[in-house]
Amino acid sequence: MRIPKLQSSQYSWFIRPILWLLARKQNKTLKPAQILGRKPRLFAVVFLLYKTINRRSSPIQLYIHALMSVRVAQLNQCEFTIEHDSKVLRTLKERLNKDKLLDWQNCSDFKPQECAVLAYTDAITNTSLHVTDRHIDQLRCYYNDDEIVELTTIIVFQNMTTKFNTAFDVCRKTV
């Protein structure tokens, strides 16, 4: 880890209980949260965005959300997120594991909706690709415009967090 965590007492008073709750919920200390906790305002904004994106009332199925998250993490080489979100993916869909996502274009296990979402995820995440009207048209077969905005926000947020994790070298170890 390129930036060390602080001692518990060095974190802002309102960050400490959040870090404690996150560690309790995950059964481990989350290094990205500890790093971001050094900047309380940034932490608060990112945490609120995370909670909004991951709300139960989201129109995006949890499985699709996990599928996009693992794919973004693979493209950004963030083992932390790959392992974390792969557990969700395995729990939700027994037929699919993270390794099939590596070559999703040549895997017959993916439904057309999943392929549309993965193509869009790749186009946003891979800087050598570009989002096209075709991507949006394919998504419109399954999602309305507001849901496409939400899909995009999830993908962009995952790109931000996985790149954050990669920059600070928290991707290799999850504890």
For 15-45, the pLDDT digits (tens) are 999 999 888 887 777 889 999 999 999 999 9
**Are the CB atoms for 33 and 43 separated by under 8 Å?**
yes
Residue 130 lies in a domain: yes
Residue 71 lies in a domain: yes
Q: What is the dihedral of CA 68, 135, 108, 77, to 10 degrees?
A: -40
Query: Which residues span the domain enclosing 101?
Result: 62-167
| Same-domain status, 13 and 84 | no
Q: Among residues 121, 150, 140, which one has the least CA distance to residue 110? A: 121
* 94 pLDDT more than 70: no
| Same-domain status, 88 and 158 | yes
| Same-domain status, 41 and 74 | no
Cα 138 from Cα 111, distance rounded (Å): 13
| Same-domain status, 92 and 114 | yes
* 174 pLDDT more than 50: no
**pLDDT number for residue 175:** 40
| Same-domain status, 20 and 104 | no
| Same-domain status, 117 and 160 | yes
Residue 111 lies in a domain: yes
Point out the domain boundary residue: 21, 36, 53.
53
Sign, CA torsion 76/77/78/84: positive
Residue 106 lies in a domain: yes
Rounded mean pLDDT, 101-124: 92
Taking residue 37's Cβ as centre, other Cβ atoms within 10 Å add up to: 23
* 95 pLDDT more than 60: no
| Same-domain status, 112 and 41 | no
Under the banding of pLDDT at 50, 70 and 90, the label for residue 97 is low
* 113 pLDDT more than 70: yes
Residue 139: CATH number of its domain: 1.20.1290.10
| Same-domain status, 109 and 43 | no
| Same-domain status, 84 and 161 | yes
Residue 98 lies in a domain: yes
Residue 3 lies in a domain: no
Task: Count the domains in the chain.
Answer: 2
| Same-domain status, 87 and 140 | yes
| Same-domain status, 112 and 46 | no
Q: What is the pLDDT of residues 114-160, one digit of tens each?
A: 999 999 999 999 999 999 999 999 999 999 999 999 999 999 999 99
| Same-domain status, 130 and 150 | yes
Q: Chain-wide mean pLDDT for the chain?
A: 89
Residue 108 lies in a domain: yes
